[in-house]
């Protein structure tokens, strides 16, 4: 006859096997092209080093500079806009030279330069915030479709607010009161492209402020997750909404640079791929495991957790990125 202790041990073992099976199935399930807020994107992969991103012989954003064009859709406070702008400024290697503290955001971006196209040319190591415009009057409404994101970029180009730049990325950042199709339901951000002429195609992307709509899905580890092992939320060094946006912007930026036309580096279905960062879900520091983002630095004044320094004294959290040289998820180590 089975003893109570043996029965409990057997039940725990079965539950563990069931959890592993569910995570495995979710990892191959269809998801949106971008950040998927399902459980497998909230937690570190159980088999991180076995991930292989195949190169599909398409173009990459090799520069010489990846220009960023921002559309602020909806109201963003000056403080919040400055946080995001500081992050983009921090990607510039020249900014790192002026910082006395290491590691920096540009240290993290250096891994992207390991991705090379068919000619051996690497992804550009220079990312620059070129221009930005605001749309505080909600020109497409407060409840918009993904197609509206492309329309906003097309209109900005048509109105000469932005130039046509096939080597840049046009980001639409939506405020907390804007609902975007699939945001919080199927993704925390995405990138895509469209033709602006018979011979020119541009890359665009969307990331929204998840603080009010879905912090448990798109703001981990600065919010308690909806799925997976429970644990306390970390303190955000700037603000939960903006620090979550930084993580998601970093994720989409890396995917757009290494897989701009869905013919670059990815694993799985081209319409729902694992890319440079989404191949390393939930990994931010060394020794990360499900429910634990890894070893991070903690600011003594704010108690905020972070892993890189940025412009204007900012502290940011950036996700691990798959390294095609070491074939592992690479994190920034202080």
pLDDT tens for 127-182 read: 999 999 999 999 999 999 999 999 999 999 999 999 999 999 999 999 999 999 99
204 - beta bridge partners? 170, 192
Q: What is the pLDDT of residue 231?
A: 78
What number is the average pLDDT over the span 68-86?
98
189 - beta bridge partners? 35, 207
Give the range with max mean pLDDT: 5-14, 15-24, 225-234: 225-234
Ranking 92-106, 128-142, 286-300 by mean pLDDT, the lowest is 92-106
Asked whether residue 32 carries a pLDDT value surpassing 90, the answer given is no
* Average pLDDT across the chain, whole number: 86
Q: What is the pTM of this model?
A: 0.86
DSSP state of 212: T
Residue 95's pLDDT band, with cuts at 50, 70 and 90, is confident
Ranking 116-120, 248-252, 260-264, 310-314 by mean pLDDT, the lowest is 310-314
Residue 99's pLDDT band, with cuts at 50, 70 and 90, is confident
Pairing of strands 189-195, 201-208: antiparallel
Rounded CA separation 205/186 (Å):
15
Q: What is the pLDDT of residue 41?
A: 36
Q: What is the pLDDT of residue 51?
A: 65
Residue 52's pLDDT band, with cuts at 50, 70 and 90, is confident
Q: What is the pLDDT of residue 97?
A: 65
What number is the average pLDDT over the span 247-268?
97
Asked whether residue 40 carries a pLDDT value surpassing 90, the answer given is no
Instruction: For residue 189, give the nearest of 132, 127, 249, 240 by alpha carbon.
Output: 249
Ranking 15-29, 55-69, 112-126, 293-307 by mean pLDDT, the lowest is 15-29
Ranking 19-23, 102-106, 326-330 by mean pLDDT, the lowest is 19-23
Asked whether residue 247 carries a pLDDT value surpassing 80, the answer given is yes
What number is the average pLDDT over the span 213-229?
90
């Amino acid at each position: 006859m089975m003893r109570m202790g043996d029965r409990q041990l057997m039940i725990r073992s079965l539950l563990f096997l069931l959890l592993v099976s569910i995570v495995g199935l979710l990892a191959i399930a269809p998801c949106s092209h971008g950040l998927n807020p399902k459980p497998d994107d909230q937690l570190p992969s159980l088999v991180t080093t076995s991930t292989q991103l195949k190169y599909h012989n398409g173009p990459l954003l090799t520069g010489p500079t990846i220009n960023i064009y921002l559309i602020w859709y909806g109201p963003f406070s000056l403080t919040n806009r400055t946080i995001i702008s500081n992050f983009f400024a921090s990607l510039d290697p020249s900014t790192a030279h002026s910082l006395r503290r290491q590691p920096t955001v540009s240290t993290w971006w250096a891994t992207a330069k390991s991705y090379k196209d068919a000619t051996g040319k690497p992804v550009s190591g220079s990312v620059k915030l070129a221009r930005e415009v605001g749309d505080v009057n909600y020109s497409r409404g407060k409840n918009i479709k993904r197609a509206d994101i492309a329309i906003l970029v097309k209109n900005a180009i048509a109105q000469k607010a932005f130039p046509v730049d096939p080597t840049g990325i046009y980001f639409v950042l939506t405020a907390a009161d804007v609902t975007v199709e699939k945001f919080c339901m199927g993704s925390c951000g995405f990138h895509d492209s469209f033709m602006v002429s018979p011979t020119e195609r541009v890359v665009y992307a969307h990331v929204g402020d998840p603080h009010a709509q879905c912090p448990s899905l798109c703001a981990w580890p600065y919010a308690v997750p909806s799925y997976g092992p429970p644990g306390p939320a970390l303190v955000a060094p700037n603000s939960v909404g903006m620090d979550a946006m930084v993580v998601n912007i970093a994720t989409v930026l890396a995917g757009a640079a290494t897989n701009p036309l869905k013919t670059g580096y990815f694993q799985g279905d081209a319409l729902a791929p694992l890319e440079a960062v989404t191949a390393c879900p939930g990994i931010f520091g060394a020794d990360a495991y499900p429910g634990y983002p890894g070893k991070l630095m903690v600011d003594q004044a704010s108690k905020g957790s972070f892993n890189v320094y940025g412009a204007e004294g900012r502290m940011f959290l950036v996700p691990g990125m798959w390294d095609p040289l070491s074939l592992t998820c690479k994190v920034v180590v202080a």
